[in-house]
Amino acid sequence: MSEHRPRLVLPDGPVLAARHHRGALLFPDGELVVEETRRLRARLKDVPPPIVCHLPATARRLGLGPFAAADILELFAFVRPAEPVVPSPRGLAGAVGLPPPEGLEDEAIVLRDVATALLR
């Protein structure tokens, strides 16, 4: 007899990786957009809440106050409650056995892959 496991899926919003002057949005359809923070702030108004790593730091890098987002660190803490992790895309990648991101664009891709791995 096979065990039926519910399928867990990522939210509809993009994945957001941000630095102080640039950010990357990875959309569910695979489109990857890299923009300066000013344009990225405007774009965030028109998309569903993104998946981020460390919402307070992400908001600070974008020059924003708190905004609606799904923080992957909360998912990590729920799925692996006793496991410490460095609160960054690199730290999360290492914690789930993925190669570290090589740049901003990779950070967005890695965050999506980490979320997928945690939901399995």
- What phi and psi values does residue 37 have, to the nearest 5 degrees? -60, -35
pTM to 2 decimal places: 0.90
Each domain of the chain, given as residue ranges in start order, spans 15-119
At 12 the pLDDT is 84
At 4 the pLDDT is 65
User: Within 10 A of 77 (CB to CB), how many other CB atoms are there?
Assistant: 13
120 residues of the chain, pLDDT tens digit each: 556 666 667 778 999 999 989 999 999 999 999 999 999 999 999 999 999 999 999 999 999 999 999 999 999 999 999 999 999 999 999 999 999 999 999 999 999 999 999 998
At 8 the pLDDT is 67
At 11 the pLDDT is 78
CA distance 60 to 64: 6
At 7 the pLDDT is 67
Provide the 3-class DSSP secondary structure of residue 52: strand
115 exposure class (CB count in 10 Å sphere: 0-12, 13-18, 19+): buried
Provide the 3-class DSSP secondary structure of residue 78: helix
32 exposure class (CB count in 10 Å sphere: 0-12, 13-18, 19+): middle
